[in-house]
């Protein structure tokens, strides 16, 4: 597809144009700058970016499916970026989050894009951030980033979001597990999903007490919501909670502060992505002598000796 065709497709909200644009930016194509510059910044500024994270099997995709339905009933156009891990061995990935969202497959106003982590050092935030911009620029007023809440790169992605929800479910480990990964610090909303299962009340009480204590860099504690995503229970209350957090973030300036942090994060990520090839080239060309410690060699390579 020619570049004008892609840019036109993007303007016309053509699914193919949007999809191609995301791929080109993800692949660092020369057209990326043109595509990103063509977007309507005011749409990007206004969109709400919701991060949904949590351990595997907590119900993130099913919950995302229900949240989409709810926003669609309000007439809002929804974008989803579903991140799944790449195999560190083969570099391949199975992207299966869509399965839970296939009910929206024929809705032109639900744009779902799966993205693999590709085990990159940097680059993932850059790619996901660009995808958020493209989705917002193509008229999505809500963009959901869904990712497993383990690992540094996934945690970094979630920092692109205006509002972050952590999904937990009973039976996936005790409250110590939840306290471990630093997940609780980033969450604005704690969702106890599978609330009809044994142990949900206890988990919710644990979360309530953690939320009351506050944590991380947030002034007020997180909200706790209980849901049964598979039956659509608790979704209205969850969306109301999201709405409340969003309003308070907009009023307090928290939203702007997070956007600024996210911007810096994306810049750093793009910078790493851009310098990496030249460094790899230098190393592979072998114009260094493999003497001294690797650390010194790296400094030499970068001219910081």
Please report, as ranges, the residues that interact with other proteins according to CB under 8 A: 1, 14-16, 18-20, 22-23, 27-28, 86-87, 89-96, 98-99, 102, 105-106, 111-114, 116, 118, 277, 280-281, 284
Residue closer to other proteins by CB (options 79, 221) is: 79
Residue 127 belongs to what H/E stretch?
helix 124-137
For residues 122 and 274, give the distance between their C-alpha atoms in angstroms, rounded to a whole number: 10
Residue closer to other proteins by CB (options 118, 159) is: 118
Q: How far is the CB of 186 from other proteins (least distance, A)?
A: 27
For residues 126 and 115, give the distance between their C-alpha atoms in angstroms, rounded to a whole number: 12
Residue closer to other proteins by CB (options 60, 249) is: 60
Cα of first residue to Cα of last residue in the chain, in angstroms, is 46
Residue 59 tokens read as 């119900």
Q: How far is the CB of 9 from other proteins (least distance, A)?
A: 9
CB 191 within 8 A of CB 169: no
Residue 196 tokens read as 């009809």
Residue closer to other proteins by CB (options 99, 267) is: 99
Q: How far is the CB of 35 from other proteins (least distance, A)?
A: 13
Residue 70 tokens read as 């709810």
For residues 170 and 193, give the distance between their C-alpha atoms in angstroms, rounded to a whole number: 8
Residue closer to other proteins by CB (options 113, 194) is: 113
Q: How far is the CB of 100 from other proteins (least distance, A)?
A: 9
Q: How far is the CB of 27 from other proteins (least distance, A)?
A: 8
For residues 107 and 226, give the distance between their C-alpha atoms in angstroms, rounded to a whole number: 28
Q: How far is the CB of 90 from other proteins (least distance, A)?
A: 5
Distances (CA, A) of 293 to 12, 154, 186, 288, 300: 55, 31, 37, 12, 11
Residue closer to other proteins by CB (options 93, 268) is: 93
């Amino acid at each position: 597809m020619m570049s004008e065709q892609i840019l036109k497709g993007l303007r016309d909200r053509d699914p193919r144009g949007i999809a191609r644009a995301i791929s080109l930016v993800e692949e660092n194509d020369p057209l990326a700058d043109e595509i990103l510059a063509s977007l309507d910044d005011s749409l990007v500024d206004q969109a709400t970016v919701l991060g949904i994270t949590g351990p595997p099997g907590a119900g993130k995709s099913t919950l995302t499916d229900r949240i989409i339905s709810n926003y669609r009933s309000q007439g809002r156009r929804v974008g989803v970026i579903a991140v799944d891990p790449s195999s560190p061995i083969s570099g391949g990935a199975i992207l299966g989050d869509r399965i839970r969202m296939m009910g929206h497959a024929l809705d032109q106003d639900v744009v779902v894009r799966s993205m693999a982590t590709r085990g990159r050092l940097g680059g993932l935030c850059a790619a996901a951030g660009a995808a958020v911009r493209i989705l917002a620029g193509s008229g999505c007023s809500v963009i959901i980033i869904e990712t497993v809440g383990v690992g540094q790169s996934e945690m970094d992605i979630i920092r692109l979001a205006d509002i972050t929800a952590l999904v937990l479910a009973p039976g996936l480990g005790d409250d110590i597990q939840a306290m471990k990964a630093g997940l609780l610090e980033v969450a604005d909303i704690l969702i106890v999903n599978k609330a009809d299962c044994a142990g949900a009340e206890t988990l919710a009480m644990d979360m309530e007490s953690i939320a009351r204590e506050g944590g991380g860099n947030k002034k007020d504690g997180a909200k706790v919501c209980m849901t049964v995503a598979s039956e659509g229970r608790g979704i209205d209350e969850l969306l109301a909670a999201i709405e409340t957090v969003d309003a308070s973030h907009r009023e307090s300036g928290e939203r702007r502060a997070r956007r600024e942090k996210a911007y810096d994060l994306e810049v750093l990520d793009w910078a790493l992505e851009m310098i990496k090839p030249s460094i790899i080239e230098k190393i592979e060309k072998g114009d260094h002598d493999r003497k001294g410690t690797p650390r010194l060699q790296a400094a030499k390579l970068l001219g910081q000796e």
